[in-house]
Amino acid sequence: MPPEDQNDAAFDAAGRLLAQERAGDNAPALSVSELSAQLKRTVEDRFGHVRLRGEISGYKRAASGHVYLSLKDENARIDGIIWKGAAARLGFAPQDGIEVIATGKLTTYPGRSSYQIVIERLELAGEGALMQLLERLKRQLAAEGLFAPERKKRLPYLPRVIGVVTSPTGAVIRDILHRLADRCPSHVLLWPVLVQGEGAAAQVANAVRGFSAMRPGGAIPRPDLVIVARGGGSIEDLWAFNEEAVVRAVAECSIPIISAVGHETDTTLCDYAADVRAPTPTAAAEMAVPVRAELMAGLTELGLRSGRAIRRGTEQRRERLAMTARLLPTPETLLAPQRQRADDLGERLGRGLKQRVTLAWRHLSEAGGALRPALLAQRVAREHARLESIRLRPDLVTRGIAQKRERLDSTWRLALSLDPRRPLSKGFALVTAGGRVLASAEAAREAAAMTLTFQDGAIDVVSAAEGVEFMPPARLSSPPKPARKPARPDSSGAGQQDLFGSGQERDDTC
C-alpha cells in the first residue's frame, strides 16, 4: 500500500469524528449510570459482609439521625455511614480518635464515584480503646466540674424513704432489701431499669431524673436518698454507667445519691458524679441507714447518762444549798431586834393613848365653854338683818318695766316713720323698674317699662317719647300692709305680783 493510503487509513481509525459500530465489536458503549450500577452490584456481591478495623475520623451526626464518619489507618481511608436505626442501637457514643471494628457491607455512592461501608454494628477494638474513650469522657466531665467535691451533698442520717435504681430481677435488690431489714427497716421505692445492654443508660438516667422531679407531699412519697446499684461484671457490662447521660443525671440529682455499681475494684464515672461511692450494693445499704439495735442501745445509754447527769446535778445543788444555809443567820437572830422594837413600841403606845385622850378632853372643855346661847342669838339677829337688806321690793321692778316700755314705744314710732310705703297713703306712688327704685326723671326716661305702686295696688306702664303709655291690661297687686303696732302694756302694774308673796305666777302682760 502506498504511503498516502496508509496515512489515510490511520487517520480514519484514530481521528474520525463520529462513533461507528464495527462488525464483530463486543464492547458496546456504556452510560455512566450503567457503569456505576454494575460496579455497585459487583462490590455489594463480592463484599456483602466485611469487618474493618480502623480509627474514627470526621464523626458527625446529621439532623436526620444518620451518622457519617471515616475509618482510617496508616495508609488508607474509607467513608462510612450508620443509618438512624443502627445508630440508636450503638452501645457507646463514638468519638474521633477511637479505634473500632465496624461490621457491615461495602457499597458505592454514584454521586461521587466513591465506595463506602454501611456500618451495622460498631465495637471498640479491644479494652485499650474502651479505656481511651473512658478517660477522654472523664477528662471532659471533670473539666465541667461534675466531679467537684463542693457539689457533693451530705447523706441524711435516718432516711424515711429510699429510692433504688436497679434491675427488679437481679440479686442486687434482694441484697439491699435484706440488709435494710437487718439494720433498720425503711420504706423502699424501686424504679426498675435495665442495667446493661441497649437502652440501659437511657433508662437509668430517666429513673434518676424521675426521683429528683418528685415533689414532697405527693401521692408517692419523695425519697430522702437514692441508690444506683448494679452487680459486678466486665467493663463492657458496666459501660451503661459510664455513659454521659447517666453521669449528668446523677450529678444534677437534687436528692443525695449513692453509687453502688460493680464490686469494690470496679469504678465507673457514675461513682465520681455521685455524692458517695459504695464498694458494693450491700455496703450502700449499710451506708444508707444506721443499725436500729445500735440506735436503741445508744438511746438507752443516753437516757441512763442523762439520768445520772440529772441526779449528779441535783446532789451538787443540794450540797451547795446546805453549805449556803449554814452560812445564813438563824431566824431567831434575824427577828430578835424586831421583837425588841415591837415590845418598846407596845409600851409607848399605851402611854401615848392616855396622853392623847387627856389632850382631847382638854380641847373639848375649852370649846364647850365658848358655846353660849346669847352669842348664838346675837349671830342669828345679825344674819336676819342682812337678809332684810337684800330683799327685792315690787316698786323697783315696776319702775324698770315702765322705762323699758317707753324705750320700746319710741323705737316703734321711729320704725313706722322710716317705712317706705307709709307715704303711699297720702297720694304718693313708688316707681320701680327691674327690681330697683327710680328716683329721677332721667332714670324713668331711660327705663323701657316701669311699675307704679299705689296704696291699693300697682300698674305697669311703658315710657314713650311724648309721655307715659299704660299697658293693658293693668296688673294690680295689693301692697303689703304695715306691721301692726303691738298693744301697749298696762302701766298701772295691776298684774304685778309680790316677789315675796305666795309664789303665784305673774300676769301675761309683764
Query: Residue 471's pLDDT is what?
Result: 53
* Helix (H) or strand (E) run with residue 24 in it: none
pLDDT in 10s for each residue of the chain, 510 residues? 555 555 555 445 545 566 666 665 666 677 778 788 888 888 777 887 888 888 888 888 888 889 998 888 778 888 899 988 888 888 777 877 778 888 888 888 877 778 888 898 887 776 566 677 788 888 888 899 889 999 999 999 889 999 999 999 888 999 999 999 988 888 999 999 999 888 899 999 999 999 999 998 888 999 999 999 998 887 778 888 988 899 999 999 999 999 999 888 888 899 999 999 999 999 999 999 988 888 888 889 999 999 999 999 999 999 999 888 888 888 888 888 888 888 888 888 888 888 999 999 888 887 776 667 777 788 888 888 887 777 666 777 788 888 999 999 999 888 887 777 777 777 788 888 887 888 888 888 888 788 888 888 888 888 764 455 555 544 444 445 544 544 444 444 444 444 334 343 443 333
Give the helix ranges, DSSP H, for 328-372.
331-370
d(Cα 97, Cα 133) in Å, to the nearest integer? 9
Q: What phi and psi values does residue 220 have, to the nearest 5 degrees?
A: -105, 125
| pLDDT score at 466 | 45
CA dihedral defined by 325, 329, 335, 336, rounded to 10 degrees?
150
- List Cβ neighbours of 283 (8 Å cut-off, separation of 6 or more): 260
Q: pLDDT tens for residues 175-185?
A: 999 999 988 88
Residues 6+ apart with CB under 8 A from 82: 66, 67, 68, 69, 90, 118, 119, 122
What pLDDT score does 485 carry? 47
Q: Tell me the pLDDT tens digit for each residue of 441-487.
A: 888 888 878 888 888 888 888 876 445 555 554 444 444 554 454 44
Q: What is the pLDDT of residue 477?
A: 46
User: Where do you find CATH 3.40.50.261 in the chain?
Assistant: 149-290
Domain with CATH 2.40.50.140 in the chain: 33-125
Domain 149-290 fold is Rossmann fold (3.40.50)
Rg (CA), the chain: 67
Give which of 72, 258, 235, 85 is closest to 162, Cα–Cα: 258
Q: Length of the chain in residues, anyone? A: 510
Contact 204, 249 (CB under 8 A): yes
Question: What pLDDT sits at residue 10?
Answer: 47
Q: Are 370 and 379 in contact (CB under 8 A)?
A: no
Per-residue model confidence (pLDDT) at position 507: 39
pLDDT of residue 11: 47
* CATH number of the structural domain 33-125: 2.40.50.140
